[in-house]
Amino acid sequence: QIAHETGDRISEAGTLSNLGHLLLQMNRFDDAEKILNEALTLRLIGN
């Protein structure tokens, strides 16, 4: 169960990271920064 939750968190972090990079390409830096920080936080919690 824990491994499954961690896997979900890591994939969620990956999705957020992709979204963050997409926002960067659209020059939406404030939104991108928030989302990338959230992705990073999820990754750190997952480890």
Judge contact between 37 and 23, C-beta under 8 A: no
- DSSP letters, 1-47, are -HHHHHHHHHHHHHHHHHHHHHHHHTT-HHHHHHHHHHHHHHHHHH-
* Direct distance between the N- and C-terminal alpha carbons of the chain, in angstroms, rounded to an integer: 15
Reported as a single tens digit per residue, the pLDDT across 1-47 is 677 777 887 788 889 889 999 999 999 999 999 999 998 888 787 65
> How far is residue 24's CA from residue 46's CA, in Å, rounded to a whole number?
24
pLDDT at 2: 73
So what's the pLDDT on residue 44? Answer: 81
Would you state the pLDDT for residue 46? 63
* pTM of the full structure: 0.66
Kindly list the distances between the CA atom of residue 32 and the CA atoms of 12, 35, 42, in Å, as whole numbers in the listed order: 15, 5, 15
